[in-house]
Amino acid sequence: MDRVFHHDFMRDLMERLTGRHGLAVVSRNFLFLIIGALAVVTALLGYRYYEEHKKTSGIQIDIGKGGVSIEEK
């Protein structure tokens, strides 16, 4: 009797998780959460890439009270 209950419980659980056609059913809220998290990660990585590449390379010439200074970047 215990095996029958276990079998019915597992079958019912799998039907709830996979739906009628065997495809995984995920709630709409969970999908929005995943899409939102991916958007945030993409935005952060894009900003980091932008900040890293906006730094200029070459030389910087400053003229001030102390005279002329030249720095290589």
pLDDT digits (tens, 9 = 90+) for 12-48: 777 776 666 666 666 788 888 899 999 999 999 999 9
Q: Is the pTM of this model over 0.75?
A: no
Residues facing 69 on adjacent strands = 62
For 2-11, what is each residue's pLDDT tens digit? 555 667 777 7
- Gap between the Cα atoms of 49 and 27, Å rounded: 33
Distance CA 43, CA 70 (A): 36
